[in-house]
Structure formats: C-alpha cells, structure tokens
Amino acid sequence: MVTVGMALRAAVSALEGSESAALDAQLLLAKVLGKPRSWLYTWPEQPVAASSARDFEGLIRRRAAGEPVAYLLGSREFWSLSLRVSPAVLIPRPETETLVRATLDLLPPGPQRVADLGTGSGAIVLALARERPHWELHATDRSQEALEQAQGNVRALGLAVQLHLGDWLEALPACRFDALVSNPPYLADSDPHLLQGDLRFEPRSALVAADDGHGDLNRLAAAAPEHLGEGGWLLLEHGWQQGSAVRALLRARGFVAVETRCDEGGRERVTLGQWPGAAHG
C-alpha cells in the first residue's frame, strides 16, 4: 500500500536536483487526488489508490523530463487569479505583474479604453479587468488556440473583455485607446535560455522575435500612435537588458515621458511612453 507520505517522498527523490522538488510533488499529488495541499500535510498516512498512484507517477516522470508544472496542472496563478494554461500559451510570470501595476498607476480614475496586444492566456487584460471593471478592455492574439484559451479564462472568471483574432494592432476596432499594453516576444533566436527550463516547452512564436529579439517591439512602437488618443500610453514588457534600447526606440518614434519600471527583482522590465497631444499642451 502506498500512502500520501510515501508517494511524496518517492516523488521528491525522482525530482532530485530540482529546487522546487517538494512543492512540485505536492502540487501534482494534490491535483491527482483532488485535494488542497493542506490536506496532504494533515493526512500523510492516507492510502493512495493504485490508479491515482499511477497517474501521479506519470506526472512526476513528465516533470522530471522538464515539462512545466503549470502545463501539468493546467493552471497558473497570476495577480491572484487562477488562469487555465496549456502549451498553446506562455506561462504567466510574476515579473509581468509589473506591467499591470504600471498601467494601473498611469491611468487616472474613470472610464478608460485599454488593449492588451498578444494576450495569450489573457493574464494581463484579466488582471486589469479585475481591478478596473469599469474600463473598456480589448485583447488581441494571432493564434486561434491562444485566443480560445483566453476566452475560457474570461468565461471562468466572469470578467468583461472583448477578444479579437489577428496580428497585434491590426485586429483592434477602429477607435482610439487610452493605453496599449503588451508582453511581446523579445528573445533572440540564439538566446541560450530557450534550451533551459520551462522555455523549452513554451510556444516559440511567443518567445522569439526577429532582429535579435527587437522585431516585435519595433513593430508595436511604430504602429501604436495610429491607435492611441492624445496623451495615450504605450507600455511594453521586455528583457532585463533591453531597457535602454526600448527607451531609445520610443523616443525616436516621438513618445514623451519615457521611463522604465523595474520588477520585484530590481531588473528593468517595462518601458512606457506617452503619445503627445492635449496632455502636453
């Protein structure tokens, strides 16, 4: 007979070398058993059914091969929201919450029209919808599969977001926005991180951009003014070493009030700029 405690110990041993072995094992066993993690601590001597033990061992083998826990669980928490994720979308990461915070900080109270470009799972736009339910929120993605993932999260959370299938800003309705936000691909094709950790399993099209990782950042900066109202903001997440280049890019395009916000680790993560107009005389 296999107990909860025995299953967890065997799983941690199988995941030896992983910094998160214990947490990964707990999350995966809780999923298989349909119990909260706290239940595992309370009932370590409870038997695990043979079928559940097999399912758990299968998940542990996949995790040992490097498959992301978020994909194995089918969900990931972001901004205190439980989001469904799959290999069709990037796994939402804590550093992207920097983009959400910056957007909330910049826009004044009252109705705003905001679009999330390349939404993936919908993490960014849904976090904004949770905090500002009175905003008019749009999101685009060129991947039908990703947009279906976002739509599932919209329905599950009961938040108001309009989704559009298409490439970046081309999919937006013909109106002006108060802010455009995006976490676009920004890795170079030669980036060694693509061969490490979770990135090996995530959609390459959502990670890699042309021009040494700057291609989509350039496209967004070039096209954004046609969709921004006077004084509207463009906010772009980027790699921690790209802040200087993105600031220069926005200034060259004509944006003002350009600055970069750092993530919780102190790394440059989000660069923003305002399209000049009424707000600047």
Residue 268 belongs to a domain with what CATH number? Answer: 3.40.50.150
Query: Do 60 and 106 fall into the same domain?
Result: no
Q: Could you give the number of structural domains in the chain?
A: 2
Of 31, 65, 99, which residue constitutes the final position of a domain? 65
Residue 125 confidence (pLDDT) above 70: yes
Is 106 within a domain?
A: yes
Residue 104 confidence (pLDDT) above 90: yes
What is the residue whose two structure tokens read 């999919």? 171
Query: Do 103 and 212 fall into the same domain?
Result: yes
Sheet holding 113-117, edge to edge: 162-165, 136-141, 113-117, 177-182, 228-237, 268-274, 256-262
For residue 26, what pLDDT band results from cuts at 50, 70 and 90?
very high
Query: Do 140 and 232 fall into the same domain?
Result: yes
Query: Do 90 and 215 fall into the same domain?
Result: yes
Q: How many CB atoms lie within 10 A of CB 170?
A: 12
Is 71 within a domain?
A: no
Query: Do 181 and 209 fall into the same domain?
Result: yes
**Residue-level length of the chain:** 281
Report for 13-27, 136-150, 191-205: range of highest mean pLDDT: 136-150
Query: Do 9 and 88 fall into the same domain?
Result: no
Query: Do 60 and 191 fall into the same domain?
Result: no
Is 70 within a domain?
A: no
| 8 Å CB contact between 97 and 131 | no
Residue 249 confidence (pLDDT) above 70: yes
Q: Is the pTM of this model over 0.85?
A: yes
CATH number of the domain bearing residue 36: 1.10.8.10
For residue 127, what pLDDT band results from cuts at 50, 70 and 90?
very high
Residue 59 confidence (pLDDT) above 80: yes
Residue 32 CA to residue 52 CA, distance in Å, equals: 6
Query: Do 53 and 92 fall into the same domain?
Result: no
Residue 161 CA to residue 100 CA, distance in Å, equals: 15
Q: Are strands 177-182 and 162-165 parallel, antiparallel or unpaired?
A: unpaired
Domain that holds residue 45: 4-65
Query: Do 48 and 149 fall into the same domain?
Result: no
Could you tell me which of 111, 113, 110, 68 has the C-alpha nearest to residue 89? Answer: 68
Burial class (CB in 10 A: 0-12, 13-18, 19+), 73: middle
Q: What is the mean pLDDT of the chain?
A: 92
Q: Are strands 268-274 and 228-237 parallel, antiparallel or unpaired?
A: antiparallel
| 8 Å CB contact between 238 and 215 | no
Query: Do 89 and 36 fall into the same domain?
Result: no
